[in-house]
Amino acid sequence: MGEQVAVRTRYFDEELLRAVAEGCEQVVLLASGMDARAYRLDWPGRTRVFEVDLAEVLAFKAAVLRNAEPACERVEVPTDLRLDWPRALREAGFAPGAPTAWLLEGILYALTPEAAHGLLDRVTSLSAPGSVAAFEHLPDNPALRTARTAISADMANLWLGGPEGEPDRWWGRHGWATQARDVREVAAAYGRPAPAAFDPARAGSGPGWVGTARLPRTE
Ligand SMILES: C[S@@+](CC[C@H](N)C(=O)[O-])C[C@H]1O[C@@H](n2cnc3c(N)ncnc32)[C@H](O)[C@@H]1O
């Protein structure tokens, strides 16, 4: 799991900075958790990074990072993704008319297919043409289950699968064009080993992807 997280971290860093360079001045980290990109990345001026997570998680993070300076305009959005979070996001200053770079990291696989599509519906309804969404797609497999169980019983039950099938198809259903890349291929491009749970040479492994979806600009 650690190897996969290392690969996705760099991939998402690069894709978010690319999206901002392409014109997305607002970034939304959905289920941001302890994501430190607002502090860590070299954002161009005027970038606003919205961090959406539960209030107690954001409060814990704010306490830990009280002496750190964000490298952008960082906006906390304490809300529950099961409730009316689009409203909370708009009230925090999000501009639905402007293109957005979204990050869905460490969240889709913890949702049922229906809940994941519900989340994508809401992301789509808030996205102006030219918006970008970086995501991962990690169908469960025996190696991942073994790794989770070794961490804790709660972790073992976390995987609900997310959307089913190829990412191109499920993003396509919401009108987005997708480029998904095999986790192994991205790891190799970074000079890293294939994460074990996604290495076909290992018993119990399965496929995994990181990818970027784009909502076409209208002419
Ligand atoms: C696996 S962590 C991912 C964190 C971060 N995106 C990353 O990859 O490092 C999942 C996050 O989802 C958040 N979360 C879980 N349920 C949520 C809910 N109903 N509403 C908002 N956030 C939620 C948790 O607080 C946690 O920070």
Contact call for residues 182 and 209 (beta carbons, < 8 A): yes
As a whole number, mean pLDDT of residues 90-99 equals 98
Tell me if 51 CB under 6 Å of ligand 1: no
Any ligand 1 atom below 6 A from CB of 80: yes
Cα–ligand 1 centroid distance for 160 (angstroms): 14
Give me the torsion for CA of 27, 4, 62, 121, rounded to 10°: 40
Distance of CA 218 to the CA centre of its chain: 25
Residues 36-88: tens digit of each pLDDT: 999 999 999 899 999 999 999 999 999 999 999 999 999 999 999 999 999 99
Q: For residue 218, what pLDDT band results from cuts at 50, 70 and 90?
A: confident
Name the DSSP class of 179.
E
Question: Which ligand 1 atom lies nearest to the CA of residue 30?
Answer: 6
Under the banding of pLDDT at 50, 70 and 90, the label for residue 219 is: low
Asked if residue 97 is part of any domain, the answer here is: yes
Lookup: tokens for 40: 């860590």
46: in domain: yes
Alpha-carbon distance of 143 to 181, in angstroms, equals 20
Instruction: Give the chain's domain count.
Output: 1
| Nearest residue by C-alpha to atom 13 in ligand 1 | 31
Q: What is the pLDDT of residues 23-33, one digit of tens each?
A: 999 999 999 99
218 CA to middle of ligand 1, Å? 33
Let me know if residue 39 belongs to a domain.
Answer: yes
Question: Residue 136 maps to which CATH number?
Answer: 3.40.50.150
Which residue's C-alpha comes closest to atom 15 of ligand 1?
31
* Per-residue confidence (pLDDT) for residue 153, from 0 to 100: 87
Q: Check if 31 has its Cβ closer than 6 Å to any atom of ligand 1.
A: yes
At residue 161, the pLDDT reads: 85
**% of the chain beyond a pLDDT of 90:** 92
* Span 151-201, pLDDT tens digits: 998 888 888 989 988 999 999 999 999 999 999 999 999 999 999 999 999
User: What is the DSSP code string of 158-219?
Assistant: -----S-S-HHHHHHTTT-EEEEEEHHHHHHHTT-PPPGGG-TTSTT----EEEEEE-PPP-
In a domain, 50, yes or no: yes
**Assigned domain for 152 exists:** yes
